[in-house]
Amino acid sequence: MIDELIFKIVPRAEWEAGSADYHGSAHDQADGYLHFSTAAQLPETLRRYYAGQDDLMLVAVDVAALGAALKWEFSGSRGEDFPHLYAPLSCDAIKWARPLIRKADGTFDLPL
């Protein structure tokens, strides 16, 4: 079910260059955790942080596979809780990775 998944947005080149476990972007590493979004949070996350970018991947991750390293934390800028992973993302937790296609109006087609 989609409710059991959270999502990571990753530039395709970064994703393809990765090893077995994903350690996050420079932004993730600076913050000390990997940033994720729920399906409902994805459109606004893409609008705020990925506007105008192409060649992105959407990575679906099984919440149950992340264990205690996954924390739901409040974001004051968005007024809601977001999933943050305080560990590398194990390939065992990944359900799929699909390209994100930016449409002519600048929004993204979500391959959910």
Structural domain contains residue 65: yes
Number of domains making up the chain: 1
pLDDT of residue 21: 85
Domain holding 27, by residue range, is 2-104
Sign of CA dihedral 19, 11, 109, 67: positive
**pLDDT in 10s for each residue of the chain, 112 residues:** 455 999 999 999 888 886 678 888 888 999 999 999 999 999 999 999 998 899 999 999 999 999 999 999 999 889 999 999 999 999 899 999 999 999 999 889 998 8
pTM: 0.91
CA distance linking residue 36 with residue 6, whole number of Å: 6
Give me the CATH number covering residue 65.
Answer: 3.20.170.20
Which has the closest alpha carbon to 28: 13, 8, 57, 48? Answer: 8
Structural domain contains residue 55: yes
Structural domain contains residue 28: yes
Q: Report H helices in 1-112.
A: 12-17, 26-31, 42-49
| Rg over CA atoms, the chain | 13
Structural domain contains residue 110: no
pLDDT of residue 98: 95
Which has the closest alpha carbon to 37: 29, 51, 23, 47? Answer: 47
Structural domain contains residue 109: no
